[in-house]
Structure 1
Amino acid sequence: MDPSALPLGTQVGAWRVLSRGSHGSYGMVYRVERAGNAEAGTFALKLALRQMDPRFEREAELLSRLTHAHVPRLFDQGVWVSPEGVSFPFLVMEWVEGVPLYEWAVRHRVSSRQVLGLLAQVASALAATHAAGGVHRDVKGDNVLVSANGAKAFLVDFGSGSYAGARRLTWRPEPPGTFQYWSIEALRFRWRFRHDATAHYEAGPADDVYALGVMAYRLVTGVYPPPLESKALDAGDGYVRSKRVAPEKQAHMSPKLAALIRQMLAEKPSMRGNAAEVAHALERAAKDAGRQASRVVTRRPKQVAASTLGARLRGWRVGMMWLGWLTAAALAVLWAGSEWTEREVWEEKPMAVLPQEYLGEAEDGGTSGLASTAFKLHEDTKGSESTRGAIGLEMPKTPLPGQRRPPCKRYEVEVSGGCWHALQDKIPPCDEDTYSWKNRCYLPSPSPRRPATSEPP
């Protein structure tokens, strides 16, 4: 029985599956009820796609330390044993009715005051996480759910999170999460230790605050902060100082909101403030910003040469020749310097209309939209060293052993005669244990050991 496609009515521990929720890289979310106690309401059950995934134990420990109005509560954890005898861990959390932040903003006319209020709630959730000795490590719009009326935001998906004393689960130098949200210090670390396989960046609270600033910038402008203006890939610390474009030059917004976004994106971590200070400042600004803060945030028109996108892509190709996809991608989002200016930058369309291959992150996977990992199938069937690149694996020309064959499920993609999961929060550069194809990262779908006989009508 495939953990990503449980039939309705399946019982997982004390919980009965009512409907499918969102699908992520590590887990599948189902809406469930407690068996024999439907009056208690519905809950979110996140089931691992990888047998005995240790991330679930770490996520449960971090969530168990948190009691906060803007973090889903943890109710249960356990292990589900499939009919084939394979064990998959699961978590049961509060069911959150909400829409991913960026999607919610596209559907509504959002004011600066609303943005300040929602950001304050997320910052408050981060402050509670940091006070409990943890870090989220994947703060982004896809991991914030907003209620339909826009009054409440939830910080979700602590699957990439960690806490003091937690054992290390990955062995790459860079932090987990989505690279567009990596802090400046994380990107510099990645560059400086790119040849040291033993180096490891320890993300801290300042990284979460920086990611919150990136999320805020992207929310109000529709684009990520401008990329590095790279002139020499081997210069100094691996970057060339470039001037930044202030958020108010990209969109009309409250000056207080713009100032706080700039603060969160400060080059020096000490200048950003901790999450509790940022939450307090955002709350105060929401109350004191005046009438201007009630106006709808609107994007400013851009007048940039049409050839700039081509120049950007050419720059990426040059970077790949020297550094490989990961370093080039990291440099593409790193900018440093202390001055915000009205300098013209390369054109970006709002993310809602940008072609899929240029999206920094895919649509939200709800509470299961995690960074990429691999199935047990994939661990047993990695390609030989000759087929593996520095970043990710080449898409094979034939299906892998044990991989599902067509017809594929509706959430899968058929490539080279096999079925694949597209990782919702990853674009190339892919992780070293995932496969790259057409500007997306994929994992092979495992073939069920026996045909399913209990599909719902």
Structure 2
Amino acid sequence: MMSFVDPRTPALGSIVGPWLLLGRIDSGSYGVVFQARRADDPEAPPVALKVAKNPGDPRFEREAEVLRRTRHPGVPRYEDFGQWVSPSGALHPYIVMELVEGFILYDWFREQPRSSQAVLRVLEQVARGLVAVHVQGIVHRDLKGDNIRVTPEGRAVLVDFGSGWYPDAEPITDTIIPPGTSIYRAPEVLRFLWRHRKEEDARWVAQPSDDLYALGVTAYRLVTGTYPPPVSETGDLRGVPRRLLRPSELAAVSPELDALIMPLLSEDAEARGATETVAEALERAARQEGLDATRPILPTPAGAHTEEARLSKPPGSSSASDSGSSSSASDSGSSSKPPRRRSSTAAGRREAGDGFPPWVSSGIAALMGSMILGICTGVRQRERAPQEQWIAAEERHQPSREVPDAGVAEEALLSVEPYPQASAPSLAVALPMPKAPQPGQKKPPCLPDYELEALGACWLVFKKDPPCGTGGYEYDGKCVRASFSAPRAPTSGEP
């Protein structure tokens, strides 16, 4: 069978600049990642070469410039940048960097038992990488677990600077806030979007504190298996304030790690501290010895039942199980997956598996075996052992891959795989109103009680007051979606 060759990308075995393409690592909407080496040196070490599918894609030059300016073990080593000439004569940018083999951060944690000390060491390395870029005025803008690789030797590397920002960078989007992934956005970014949502020229200037908040979300998600609850986008705290459980209430993390994660999630940007101060605190905590620091991070009973209890509790409940978790009942059918091992620019594919990571079931069984034996002689709780309930809940919290909501980071480059993703709270204030109706949109007359007329088309009013959430437009103080006429009923049966 002949394999399909995309004419927008070079073929295996071809030479791109001075680089020989050895193998294809990954492909997505915006580009293809190859393993390559220098064509004139058979003994040269392999590198990662990422080439754009679309001519002149600004993401590639942006990432190349960030890597060129940064020399640090926590950031992939820059090798080269150039243009590949396609058969049609179009110029496609490519970037060459160090090939970093390893697991993405979340899968590294699940691959075997990890202690608070091990997590602190990895987070400290990520923070050191951030220090190296922040001192140059660079902000990552899409920091998350999927953009962190951990090598077999334990080296943590921050990857995917395609949406990064530096002081003299040319804009790559025309949106109020920069590209990124919603659940990791700092509260002040979301509130800026809310305040200036009607101002076409308003632009948020990225800050190091944005990355630090994202680091806090990453760390919280890593050790608890869930996201912190969302903040108020409007800044209106007259309602029920965010109830953020400490990581130690959901998992057996050390007091040192617990105390370092919480400030990073502060709604006050200054309370997160300076990047270098955070890195130094993580380093000091990683040197701590003792039972709390070295024991595996496993879920507490409260963490194990967070999902089920949250779904069964009425709104406003103040029990310990009301964590503000981002999961939903729709995730309950998720099948388990083995960890993914990834390179600096692409992931090895996650394949469907029948078992959970062995350390999860064996570790929890060792801790709770005697308790289960006693329970099994009497009342069984919903026909499942406590550790089985936690594993199911933990699996539902596992996101497959968090895709950026602006589509410029590397996770948009990589193809999205078809396994379930944990539901994260919607943090989008609203989409900007389009300049024209959508194809096939309903034309006036519009239903007076349910629709309004704008841009010569009908729009369904689904909410009276913003924020409108993902997929909604704000128009005249209301939340609307495009309205479409129902298809005409058939006038006769099938022939």
- Contact between 1:191 and 1:238, CA under 8 Å: does it hold in 2? no
Residue 274 of structure 1: how far off its partner (Å)? 1.5
SS of 1:226's partner is coil
- Using the aligned pairs only, state the percent identity: 42
- Contact between 2:82 and 2:94, CA under 8 Å: does it hold in 1? yes
SS of 1:52's partner is coil
Tell me whether 1:353 sits opposite 2:395 in the alignment.
Answer: yes
- Contact between 1:3 and 1:49, CA under 8 Å: does it hold in 2? no
Tell me whether 1:212 sits opposite 2:215 in the alignment.
Answer: yes
Residue 308 of structure 1: how far off its partner (Å)? 4.9
Residue 44 of structure 1: how far off its partner (Å)? 0.5
- Contact between 2:140 and 2:164, CA under 8 Å: does it hold in 1? yes
Residue 256 of structure 1: how far off its partner (Å)? 0.4
Residue 174 of structure 1: how far off its partner (Å)? 2.1
Write the deviation string for residues 389-416 of structure 1: whole angstroms up to 9, x where unpaired: 9xxxxxxxxxxxxxxxxxxxxxxxxxxx
Query: After superposition, where does 1:218-257 map in structure 2 within 5 Å?
Result: 218-228=221-231, 236=236, 241-257=241-257
The one-letter code matched in structure 2 to 1:158 is F
Q: What is the distance in 2 between the residues matched to 1:257 and 1:388?
A: 54
In the alignment, which residue of structure 2 is the partner of 1:397?
none
TM-score of the superposed pair, with normalisation by structure 1: 0.69
Q: What is the distance in 1 between the residues matched to 2:251 and 2:145?
A: 18
Tell me whether 1:141 sits opposite 2:140 in the alignment.
Answer: no
Tell me whether 1:385 sits opposite 2:434 in the alignment.
Answer: no
Q: What is the distance in 2 between the residues matched to 1:69 and 1:388?
A: 52
Write the deviation string for residues 129-165 of structure 1: whole angstroms up to 9, x where unpaired: 011121111110111011124x211111110101012
SS of 1:17's partner is strand
Residue 61 of structure 1: how far off its partner (Å)? 1.5
- Contact between 1:254 and 1:292, CA under 8 Å: does it hold in 2? yes
Query: After superposition, where does 1:184-333 map in structure 2 within 5 Å?
Result: 184-228=187-231, 236=236, 241-302=241-302, 303=305, 306=308, 308-309=310-311
In the alignment, which residue of structure 1 is the partner of 2:165?
162
Q: 1:136 to 1:305 in 2, by over 3 A?
A: closer
The one-letter code matched in structure 2 to 1:212 is L
- The structure with the largest alpha-carbon Rg is 2
Q: What is the distance in 2 between the residues matched to 1:11 and 1:238?
A: 62
SS of 1:90's partner is strand
Q: What is the distance in 1 between the residues matched to 2:312 and 2:6?
A: 43
In the alignment, which residue of structure 2 is the partner of 1:104?
108
Structure 2 stretches lacking a partner, 5+ long:
328-389, 415-433, 442-468, 474-495
In the alignment, which residue of structure 2 is the partner of 1:177?
180
In the alignment, which residue of structure 2 is the partner of 1:63?
67
SS of 2:157's partner is strand
Structure 1 stretches lacking a partner, 5+ long:
315-339, 374-381, 390-427, 433-457
Q: What is the distance in 2 between the residues matched to 1:240 and 1:27?
A: 44
The one-letter code matched in structure 2 to 1:210 is Y
The one-letter code matched in structure 2 to 1:194 is R
Residue 362 of structure 1: how far off its partner (Å)? 6.1
Residue 116 of structure 1: how far off its partner (Å)? 0.1
SS of 1:386's partner is coil
In the alignment, which residue of structure 2 is the partner of 1:23?
27
Residue 310 of structure 1: how far off its partner (Å)? 9.3
Residue 242 of structure 1: how far off its partner (Å)? 2.3
- Contact between 1:143 and 1:157, CA under 8 Å: does it hold in 2? yes
Higher mean Cα deviation, 241-250 or 21-30? 21-30
Q: What is the distance in 1 between the residues matched to 2:277 and 2:247?
A: 21
Determine which of 50, 54, 57 is the counterpart of 1:50.
Answer: 54
Tell me whether 1:344 sits opposite 2:310 in the alignment.
Answer: no
The one-letter code matched in structure 1 to 2:76 is P
Higher mean Cα deviation, 273-282 or 23-32? 23-32
The one-letter code matched in structure 2 to 1:114 is A
Tell me whether 1:369 sits opposite 2:423 in the alignment.
Answer: no
Q: What is the distance in 1 between the residues matched to 2:72 and 2:207?
A: 20
The one-letter code matched in structure 2 to 1:37 is D
Tell me whether 1:13 sits opposite 2:17 in the alignment.
Answer: yes
Residue 181 of structure 1: how far off its partner (Å)? 0.5
Q: What is the distance in 2 between the residues matched to 1:166 and 1:126?
A: 18
- Contact between 1:160 and 1:370, CA under 8 Å: does it hold in 2? no
Write the deviation string for residues 45-83 of structure 1: whole angstroms up to 9, x where unpaired: 011122111222222111111110111111110000111
- Contact between 1:18 and 1:30, CA under 8 Å: does it hold in 2? yes
- Contact between 2:9 and 2:52, CA under 8 Å: does it hold in 1? no
Tell me whether 1:35 sits opposite 2:13 in the alignment.
Answer: no
Runs of 4+ with deviation above 6 angstroms? 349-352
Q: What is the distance in 1 between the residues matched to 2:178 and 2:436?
A: 26
In the alignment, which residue of structure 2 is the partner of 1:333?
none
Q: What is the distance in 1 between the residues matched to 2:87 and 2:234?
A: 55
- Contact between 1:245 and 1:343, CA under 8 Å: does it hold in 2? no
Q: What is the distance in 2 between the residues matched to 1:429 and 1:28?
A: 29
Q: What is the distance in 1 between the residues matched to 2:34 and 2:260?
A: 37
SS of 1:56's partner is helix
The one-letter code matched in structure 2 to 1:386 is Q
Residue 6 of structure 1: how far off its partner (Å)? 4.1
Q: What is the distance in 1 between the residues matched to 2:43 and 2:440?
A: 52
Q: What is the distance in 2 between the residues matched to 1:239 and 1:388?
A: 40
SS of 2:21's partner is strand
Residue 20 of structure 1: how far off its partner (Å)? 1.3
Equivalent residue pairs, number: 353
- Contact between 2:31 and 2:413, CA under 8 Å: does it hold in 1? no
TM-score of the superposed pair, with normalisation by structure 2: 0.64
Q: 1:38 to 1:144 in 2, by over 3 A?
A: same
The one-letter code matched in structure 2 to 1:99 is F
Q: What is the distance in 2 between the residues matched to 1:362 and 1:57?
A: 21
Tell me whether 1:129 sits opposite 2:123 in the alignment.
Answer: no
